[in-house]
Amino acid sequence: MARADRKAAAAESAKTGVMTHRQIMFVLFGLMAGMFLSALDQSVVGTAMRTIADDLNGLSAQAWVTTAYLITSTIATPIYGKLGDIFGRRYLFITAISIFIVGSVISGFANSMYELAAFRAIQGIGAGGLFALALTILADIVPPRERAKYQGMFLAVFGTSSVLGPLIGGLFAGVDNIFGITGWRWIFLMNLPIGLIALFLVLSFLHIPHHEAKSKVIDWWGVVTIIIGVVPILIVAEQGREWGWTSFNSLASYATGVVGIISFILIERRMGDDALLPLSLFKS
């Protein structure tokens, strides 16, 4: 009987777009769990990196494990925002958390540092959506007068996860094995239960109508130029110490990044409201 009532309530909210307070709270817990994982994985690897590199015999490639996640999550964030307007934020959040879970599991079973970097890049693709879509979905389901309170909670979750990341990473790195699996691998595998809970909550309780966007134009040139602008800058930020900040590789990265950023701004100005990141957002 209770299950039938829940299904009826879900069907009604999906039809009308009106969610009960209970549904909203469950959705917020799911969104905050996703944001927690997204922020946690930015910092959790740092304190375990030496242990991971020693185990996978890849000390020279350790920087790419962090850089790969940072690059893909940074690029994916604005793309999810645009695609969410076109295809619906619920669908995109489900896609993002699913990609993040898959990336976490395969990262946990990586056999080399380059494999781990590639799998972390997949993780980052999902993480970009977990952060970007959480705040926009919050605005969809919470009245304006209450948003500040919940935004504060989201920011607290983000800050807490950033602090806990190094502690959790060091804790797992210091354990030889858990249930027969090397300790550091649980840095990634622990995301599975939390991610599945977040996915379940969103699937079960987030029911908002999708309003067709006025324009379904996807700013692909904006995507290309933001990649050209952001990737070299992030790479030199990680590799600059090894390369030398004034080396040819670093200077080439700076130049490529500047060209990409300038091109991105020009394209966004031309695209207007269809831009990946409309410049009107920065006008008073």
Amino acid at 160: T
Instruction: For 170-209, write each residue's pLDDT tens digit.
Output: 999 888 888 888 889 999 999 999 999 999 999 999 887 7
| Residue pair 33/194 in contact by the 8 Å Cβ criterion | yes
Instruction: For 46-70, write each residue's pLDDT tens digit.
Output: 889 989 999 998 887 888 888 899 8
Determine the Cα–Cα distance for residues 78 and 264; give it in Å rounded to an integer.
13
Is the confidence at residue 280, as pLDDT, over 90? no
- Tell me what percent of the residues of the chain surpass a pLDDT of 70: 90
Is the confidence at residue 142, as pLDDT, over 50? yes
- Tell me what percent of the residues of the chain surpass a pLDDT of 90: 39
Is the confidence at residue 13, as pLDDT, over 70? no
Is the confidence at residue 238, as pLDDT, over 90? no
**Token pair 């991610």 in the structure block, residue:** 195
**Token pair 């976490």 in the structure block, residue:** 104
pLDDT band at 282 (very low <50, low <70, confident <90, very high): confident
Is the confidence at residue 10, as pLDDT, over 60? no
Q: What DSSP string describes 194-234?
A: HHHHHHHHHHHH---PPPPPS-----HHHHHHHHHHHHHHH
Is the confidence at residue 36, as pLDDT, over 90? yes
Is the confidence at residue 16, as pLDDT, over 60? no
- pTM of the prediction? 0.85
Determine the Cα–Cα distance for residues 267 and 253; give it in Å rounded to an integer.
21
pLDDT band at 211 (very low <50, low <70, confident <90, very high): low
pLDDT computed for residue 115 by the predictor: 93
**Token pair 């890049």 in the structure block, residue:** 121
pLDDT computed for residue 284 by the predictor: 55
According to DSSP, the β-strands at 177-178 and 181-182 are antiparallel
Instruction: For 216-230, write each residue's pLDDT tens digit.
Output: 778 889 889 988 998
Secondary structure (3-state) at 198: helix
The enclosing H or E element of 104 equals helix 89-108
Indicate the range of 42-46, 151-155, 267-271, 277-281 predicted with least confidence: 277-281
Instruction: For 150-171, write each residue's pLDDT tens digit.
Output: 888 888 988 899 889 999 999 9
Average pLDDT over residues 95-105: 96
pLDDT computed for residue 214 by the predictor: 65
Is the confidence at residue 96, as pLDDT, over 80? yes
